[in-house]
Copies of this chain bind each other. A is one copy, B any other.
Amino acid sequence: LPFGRAYLLLSAFMKIAIVGSGAVGCYYGARLQRAGHDVRFLMRGDLSTVLRDGLQVRVADGDFHLPQVSAFATTAEIGPVDLVVNAMKTTANGALEALVPPLLGPDTAILTLQNGLGSEDEHARLFGPERVLGGLCFVCINRVAPGIIQNTALGSVGLGEFQRPAGPRTHLIAEAFRGAGVKCEVTDDLALMRWKKLCWNVPFNGLSIAAGGITTDRIVGHDGLRKLARDLIQEVIEAAAKLGHTIPGAFGDLQIERTYPMGPYKPSSLIDYLEGREVEVEAIWGEPLRQAQAAGAAVPRLEALAVLLRSLTSRAAEAKVQTAAPGGPA
């Protein structure tokens, strides 16, 4: 296993399990497989289609097709790997404890690509902190049909160790991503990177839902919403500061500025909400709120937004149940 033995072997081909083969998992998994790694996908809904037709990836640096993909319905069939990549939604994390153990050898690393805060902590608690790395995907990837993935912006991945600076393992995995054509930045402060990403996700994912299902151009184009977005960013910055992560105010301004050229963009949470899928409320708003309040930061707007999003998404879930089960109790 490469992490236990030869850190210098930067071109090592790894055995990688992709847990959660939605758009993000399939996209990075497909690129890593094309680059020569032995990638095994844990897959549910699209399994038979992908086993028959493989994976198609549509992406600006060149569409490609993998006719043969190793996809499985259980992690027992996959067995121990060098690297587990968790690309499930955080709302599915209740399944981790059962899913992951068959994939673990003594030196297996676990990289969570999940959104928001708290994912590494959860993996560390379940599988030991030494295994855990986190990655942040600055990208827009959609599954357009079973086995067909579209990347509409090449983007990048930020990679770091859980509560440790980057080490040889971190750089080895980063090189694997780079070798697969993915821009990858290594950080010594993963938590800071996560808080910085929240500076955009908290206001824009949140307000796009809470203000009535609007694209981000309407947030920055509306005086009140733009100010509320900036005030939310400031609360995130001040909460991060209380937790020891310094984010300059100019970074907050930049989050507003960089949203203008995005045009009528739909954040992933809004797409989930509008399509009736679970929204990652606890990862993106709930856990930052808990950490902020535990650190004594004043976050009234973040709290209000989290509360409203919890209510809105549970309303949406109820509506879905009612639609799905019209014969149920009235």
- Give the interface of A toward B (CB within 8 A): 207, 210-214, 218, 222, 224-225, 227-228, 231, 300-301, 303-308, 310-312, 315-316
* A303 and B212 form a contact (CB under 8 A): no
Other than the given A300-B300, A300-B301, 11 more pairs (CB < 8 A) read: A210-B210, A210-B308, A211-B307, A211-B311, A211-B312, A211-B315, A214-B315, A222-B311, A224-B311, A300-B304, A301-B301
Please determine whether A228 and B315 come into contact, CB atoms closer than 8 angstroms: no
Q: Of the candidates B213, B228, B315, which one forms a contact with A213 in the assembled complex, judged by CB atoms under 8 Å apart?
A: B315
Q: In the assembled complex, which residues on chain B have CB atoms less than 8 Å from the CB atom of A218?
A: 311
Copies in the complex: 2
A228 touches B301 (CB 8 A): no
Q: Would you list 18 pairs from A and B whose C-beta atoms are within 8 A, ordered by A residue?
A: A211-B312, A211-B315, A212-B315, A214-B315, A218-B311, A224-B306, A224-B310, A225-B307, A225-B311, A227-B307, A228-B304, A228-B307, A228-B308, A231-B303, A231-B304, A300-B304, A304-B304, A308-B308
* Cross-chain contact A304 with B301 (CB below 8 angstroms): yes
- Which residues of B sit under 8 angstroms from A222, Cβ to Cβ? 311
Residues of B within 8 A of A311 (CB): 211-212, 214, 218, 222, 224-225
CA A311 to CA B211, docked complex, whole Å: 6
Separation of A214 and B314 alpha carbons in the complex (Å): 11
List of 10 A-B pairs having minimum Cβ-Cβ separation, nearest first: A212-B315, A224-B307, A211-B311, A300-B300, A212-B312, A228-B307, A301-B304, A304-B304, A300-B301, A212-B311
